[in-house]
């Protein structure tokens, strides 16, 4: 039975979300803002308790995490631990938490019931990678964001594909989605790493330009696109968390 306290909490949450500024208005005002200014605006308009940053702790993640930490290291960070990540990525997560002083990193895992029902043999990535991403990333993120009104991610237009024309702020159903690095160049990201002396992801030295789950990530040459090593040989270019609304 739902308690009156739960009902009041749900009503308060719904009221807060109905008062959110529009994505288009925020995008108009923040379209040319620096990444730090975008995060500051998100924090000011949404509040720390209702704002999350989603990070893969991948090859470019430290730049966004550094900018966020300089604004407020206590902003919640959601990390999707899919069960297929490289050990190097898990170690890198711990390295960056310590190096940047991140105070609230939440490692979210897939539902055990979903794994048993749909991927008991751990081969779903081969037969249906979209379904694999759904149960290991899309559904866990939707659950993790239930208590948040907005989230921040690290997509960049220079990554190409479906990311080539992303706005700085966009609608994500009942939530707002902030893309502080939408306008950033590869050189901008490199400059943040250099100026802050950020450690690189351990797999960069081995030729990985972008790192996701082990079965669907491969090395790429320097003249290939930033995400060339993801789902190589398939038409798939996105896991789904950015192509479907989270609510």
Mind telling me the catalytic residues? Answer: 239
Q: Where are the alpha helices (DSSP H) in the chain?
A: 4-18, 23-30, 35-46, 61-71, 87-100, 112-118, 124-127, 129-133, 139-144, 186-196
What residues contact residue 247 under an 8 Å CB cut-off, 6+ apart? 142, 145, 172, 173, 174, 175
Can you tell me the distance from the alpha carbon of 166 to that of 170, in angstroms, rounded to the nearest whole number? 8
Max CA distance (Å), the chain:
59
Shortest CA distance to 159 belongs to which of 186, 124, 126?
A: 186
Tokens read off for 204: 């960069």
């Amino acid at each position: 039975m739902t308690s009156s306290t739960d009902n009041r909490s749900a009503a308060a949450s719904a009221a807060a979300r109905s008062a959110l500024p529009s994505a288009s208005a925020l995008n108009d005002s923040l379209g040319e803002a620096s990444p730090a200014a975008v995060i500051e605006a998100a924090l000011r308009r949404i509040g720390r308790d209702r704002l999350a940053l989603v990070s893969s702790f991948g090859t470019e993640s430290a730049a966004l995490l550094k900018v966020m930490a300089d604004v407020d290291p206590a902003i919640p960070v959601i990390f999707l631990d899919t069960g297929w990540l490289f050990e190097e990525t898990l170690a890198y997560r711990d390295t960056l938490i310590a190096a940047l002083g991140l105070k609230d990193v939440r490692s979210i895992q897939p539902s055990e019931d979903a794994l048993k029902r749909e991927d008991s043999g751990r081969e779903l990535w081969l037969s249906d990678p979209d379904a694999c991403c759904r149960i290991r990333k899309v559904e866990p993120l939707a659950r993790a964001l239930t208590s948040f009104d907005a989230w921040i991610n690290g997509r960049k237009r220079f990554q190409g594909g479906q990311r080539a024309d992303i706005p700085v702020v966009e609608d994500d159903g009942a939530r707002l989605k902030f893309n502080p690095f939408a306008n950033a160049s590869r050189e901008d990201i490199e400059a943040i790493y250099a100026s802050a002396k950020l450690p690189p992801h351990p797999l960069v030295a081995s030729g990985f330009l972008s790192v996701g789950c082990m079965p669907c990530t491969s090395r790429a040459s320097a003249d290939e696109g930033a995400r060339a090593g993801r789902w190589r040989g398939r038409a798939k270019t996105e896991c789904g968390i950015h192509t479907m609304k989270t609510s």
